[in-house]
């Protein structure tokens, strides 16, 4: 088979693509990488591709209108973000998997998808309750980035390399203040001009609707402002102690701003390479400090102790909504200090998170632990099942190399245009040139 895999965020999804490609090769199949730039090539090459894997259905109709409905390829979706607070609201989880259109009675897109792959049991329960008629299209595979080959450490109880100094990781989430597209904070408030700010979906014919309960720009901006100040103060407080501080900006942030700010005030912080998989960055860390985030799931499964900063400033709680990550299932098991001194004391005493049965149960429900350890082979099994053939590659394998040539050539043209107009690539909009492809292959 020839399989297309969409790498939506390079910093987040490259590791999945790399390991998936290696596993497919062992089974005699080829994998083609795609992203937001090169996916338009599918309009011309879809006849040569057996299976197209996208994060969600809207990627297809947003980019190809209804043309893709007539393509001969098989279609699979597997979410890139499907854990945390979203899994606690079953109706929202179902809407996220199937899209707004489905619940507004435009079901042609979901009907055209051949398989929906989900991470955990909560997602399946949501579908069974709110979209039972398409349950037979859903397959449980586990969290793809928690496949054994995607993680540097084994799940939960790995023996980490002993560091000469305590390694502290700091994560930010200030994308509304420091957007990688350089949009102003005010531009985020344009959402208030759209109906989508009020409804996840609104079926005017049947009267069924789902109100929008996630943090809106006003809540998000205030919380991020408070978190950013706390992050700066925490770094200033820890920098003179005998620790090594490692910083990783949110994938949707402009890292240059953080680097300039820390250099200006001579704060010696070691920056994570943006494209480095988070599991690789976490490999030698002892603690991970930051605002409530699904990155805490990554920390726990990589045997790193998370520390949440959400309680440090009491004003922040006024802007926390029911569907803020502050309320996800894992947060009640994470240390949430009331001030910076409590953070320092926690680290000095070398306290660690205890992996209880309750935590393992959360991972079982949301990411499919322990089945997630073989999630990418589970995904390949679905590809083979819906294609109804385990080896049809020989019939048109030369098209694989034909496509790669055009992909790299297209990447060259995009890089050239970027150079001319001084456009800087980011985690979402980047060229799949030879250098990037080689980087992904070598993960």
Identify each DSSP E strand in 177-304 by its residue range: 199-202, 209-211, 243-248, 270-271, 287-290
In a domain, 358, yes or no: no
| Co-location of 189 and 70 in the same domain | no
In a domain, 154, yes or no: no
Give residues with Cβ within 8 angstroms of 212, minimum separation 6: 196, 197, 198, 199, 200
Average confidence (pLDDT) over 294-302 = 96
Q: Can you give the pLDDT at residue 411?
A: 87
Selected residue with higher pLDDT from 1 and 270: 270
| Co-location of 293 and 241 in the same domain | yes
| Tens digit of each residue's pLDDT (9 = 90 or more) over 320-341 | 999 999 999 999 999 999 999 9
| pTM given for the model | 0.93
Boundary (domain end) residue, out of 353, 388, 410: 353
Q: Can you give the pLDDT at residue 183?
A: 87
Whole-number Å distance between alpha carbons of 98 and 259: 39
In a domain, 60, yes or no: yes
Boundary (domain end) residue, out of 318, 353, 388: 353
In a domain, 273, yes or no: yes
CB of 170 within 8 A of CB of 304? no
Average confidence (pLDDT) over 258-284 = 92
| Tens digit of each residue's pLDDT (9 = 90 or more) over 87-118 | 999 999 999 999 999 999 999 999 999 999 99
**Which region among 7-11, 102-106, 407-411 has the lowest average model confidence (pLDDT)?**
407-411
Neighbours of 423 (CB within 10 A): 12
Whole-number Å distance between alpha carbons of 331 and 362: 11
Q: pLDDT-derived band of residue 357, with 50, 70 and 90 as boundaries?
A: very high
| Co-location of 207 and 324 in the same domain | yes
Q: Can you give the pLDDT at residue 161?
A: 65
Burial 265-282 (b: 16+ CB within 10 A, else e): eeeebeebeebebbbbbb
- Adjacent-strand bridge partners of 115: 76
Q: Can you give the pLDDT at residue 261?
A: 93
Boundary (domain end) residue, out of 309, 326, 353: 353
3-state secondary structure 147-193: CCCCCCCCCCCCCCCCCCCEEEEEECCCCCCCECCCCCHHHHHHHHH
As for how many domains the chain has, the answer is: 2
| Co-location of 175 and 26 in the same domain | no
In a domain, 403, yes or no: yes
Whole-number Å distance between alpha carbons of 260 and 281: 21
| Tens digit of each residue's pLDDT (9 = 90 or more) over 157-207 | 766 667 789 999 999 999 999 998 888 889 888 878 777 788 999 999 999
Burial 43-70 (b: 16+ CB within 10 A, else e): eebbebbbbbbbbbbebbbeebeeebee
Whole-number Å distance between alpha carbons of 292 and 325: 6
Whole-number Å distance between alpha carbons of 110 and 102: 7
| Co-location of 236 and 110 in the same domain | no
In a domain, 360, yes or no: no
| Co-location of 18 and 90 in the same domain | yes
| Tens digit of each residue's pLDDT (9 = 90 or more) over 134-149 | 999 999 999 999 999 9
In a domain, 436, yes or no: yes
DSSP letter (8 states) at residue 312: S
Neighbours of 288 (CB within 10 A): 28
**408: nearest Cα among 431, 429, 430:** 431
Q: Can you give the pLDDT at residue 262?
A: 93
| Co-location of 429 and 313 in the same domain | no
| Co-location of 217 and 86 in the same domain | no
Mean pLDDT of the chain: 92
| Co-location of 86 and 139 in the same domain | yes
Residue 407 belongs to what domain range?
2-149+366-441
| Co-location of 75 and 6 in the same domain | yes
CATH number, domain of 100, equals 3.40.50
In a domain, 321, yes or no: yes
Pairing outcome for strands 74-78 and 138-140: unpaired
| Co-location of 330 and 373 in the same domain | no
Average confidence (pLDDT) over 213-221 = 92
Average confidence (pLDDT) over 276-282 = 93
Flag whether pLDDT at 392 surpasses 50. no
Q: Can you give the pLDDT at residue 46?
A: 92
| Co-location of 313 and 403 in the same domain | no
Q: Can you give the pLDDT at residue 163?
A: 75
Q: Can you give the pLDDT at residue 397?
A: 65
Alpha helices by DSSP H, 239-374: 255-264, 278-281, 295-301, 340-348, 357-367
Q: Can you give the pLDDT at residue 348?
A: 94
């Amino acid at each position: 088979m020839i399989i297309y895999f969409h790498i939506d965020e390079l910093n987040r999804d490259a590791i999945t693509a790399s390991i998936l490609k290696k596993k497919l090769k062992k089974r005699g199949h080829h994998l083609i990488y795609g992203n937001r730039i090169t996916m338009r090539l599918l309009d011309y090459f879809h006849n040569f591709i057996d299976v197209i894997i996208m994060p969600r259905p809207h990627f297809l109709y947003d980019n190809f209108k209804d043309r893709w409905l007539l393509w001969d390829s098989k279609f699979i979706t597997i979410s890139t973000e499907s854990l945390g607070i979203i899994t606690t609201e079953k109706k929202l989880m179902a809407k996220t998997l199937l899209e707004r259109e489905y619940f507004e009675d435009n079901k042609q897109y979901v009907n055209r998808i051949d398989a929906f792959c989900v991470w955990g049991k909560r997602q399946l329960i949501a579908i069974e309750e709110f979209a039972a008629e398409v349950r037979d299209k859903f397959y449980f595979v586990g969290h793809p980035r928690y496949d054994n080959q995607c993680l540097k450490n084994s799940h939960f109880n790995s023996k980490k390399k002993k560091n000469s100094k305590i390694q502290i990781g700091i994560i930010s989430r200030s994308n509304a203040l420091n957007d990688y597209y350089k949009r102003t904070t005010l531009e985020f408030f344009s959402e208030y001009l759209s109906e989508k700010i009020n409804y996840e979906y609104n079926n005017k014919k049947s009267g069924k609707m789902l109100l929008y309960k996630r943090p809106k720009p006003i809540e998000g901006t205030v919380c991020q402002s408070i978190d950013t100040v706390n992050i700066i103060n925490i770094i200033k407080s820890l920098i003179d102690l005998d620790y090594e501080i490692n910083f990783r900006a949110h994938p949707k942030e402009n890292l240059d701003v953080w680097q300039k700010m820390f250099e200006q005030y001579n704060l010696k912080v070691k920056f994570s390479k943006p494209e480095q998989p988070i599991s690789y960055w976490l490999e030698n860390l002892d603690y991970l400090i930051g605002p409530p985030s699904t990155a805490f799931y990554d920390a726990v499964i990589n045997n790193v102790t998370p520390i949440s900063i959400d309680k440090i400033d009491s004003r922040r709680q006024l802007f926390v909504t029911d569907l803020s990550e502050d309320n996800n299932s894992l947060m009640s098991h994470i240390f949430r200090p009331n001030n910076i001194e409590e953070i320092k004391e926690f680290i000095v005493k070398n306290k660690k998170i205890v992996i209880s049965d309750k935590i393992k149960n959360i991972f079982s429900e949301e990411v499919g632990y322990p089945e997630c350890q073989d999630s990418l082979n589970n995904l390949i099994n679905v590809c083979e099942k819906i294609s109804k053939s385990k080896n049809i590659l020989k019939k048109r394998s030369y098209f694989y190399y034909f496509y790669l040539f055009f992909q790299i050539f297209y990447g060259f043209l995009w890089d050239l245009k970027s150079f001319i107009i001084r456009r800087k690539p980011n985690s979402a909009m980047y060229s799949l040139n030879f250098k990037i492809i080689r980087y992904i292959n070598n993960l």
